[in-house]
Amino acid sequence: MSMLTPPGMGGKYRITGDRYPRMRRTGGRRRIVLAIIASAAAIGLIGWGTLELIHVFSGTDKASAAGRSARHCDRGGPGTGTKSGARPAAEAKPLPRPAQITVNVFNATPRGGLAKNTADELKKRGFAIGKVGNATKQYDKKVKGTGILLGAKTAADSALPVLGTQLAGAEHRTDGRTGGEVDLILGTRFKDLAKKEDADKALAALAKPEPTSTPSGEENC
């Protein structure tokens, strides 16, 4: 009788031999197959992620975009003939000539004769002269800067800029007048008109503006 046979039991219940019965696990092959599939999927994800990282850090997209940008900038647009990084200047609005602008010169300072001397100089530079005298109470001794250029709203981008080339730092204002005359009101900081050479250069630059640079937010070349 084997030591594994309980006391009092024999016959068909008798266990013989010196080996223990072993039980095999069920489903082992299925687990192995699933593990292989999971491993393959993990390896695939790792490989895809590695390729993406290489693609990002190698700067492939940036280099390609830079190449396209360079080709676009070299062309400068069809038929433009402009330099890279600059836009052609908008068609300038025709500006009036000094002879077409009538200027009223008013003195808002305590210094006598200032309006007349300034009007005489403007006349030499080609401007038409209207009224000359002291400023009205509204402006008398109240203009702290070099002066005020005052005209109709339509003069804001025509007569006032042209007259402004003759007096640096003057303030530009508009009012409800309908006539074409403009006022030059001399302030307490006024010393003299701009030098004629400088005024002529400013007037030439005003008539022929330089091409503007590329605005912020657009592609820079």
1-16 in b/e form (b: 16+ CB < 10 A) is: eeeeeeeeeeeeeeee
The average pLDDT across 159-181 equals: 96
pLDDT at 215: 53
The average pLDDT across 193-197 equals: 96
Report how far residue 188's alpha carbon sits from residue 209's, in angstroms, rounded to the nearest whole number: 32
The average pLDDT across 164-168 equals: 96
H runs (alpha helix) in the chain: 28-58, 60-75, 114-124, 159-164, 196-207
pLDDT at 208: 82
- pLDDT tens-digit readout, 46-63: 777 666 666 655 654 554
Instruction: Sheet with 147-152: list strands edge to edge.
Output: 128-134, 102-107, 182-186, 147-152, 171-175
pLDDT at 81: 46
pLDDT at 31: 76
- pLDDT tens-digit readout, 79-125: 444 454 555 555 667 899 999 999 999 999 999 999 999 999 999 99
pLDDT at 6: 58
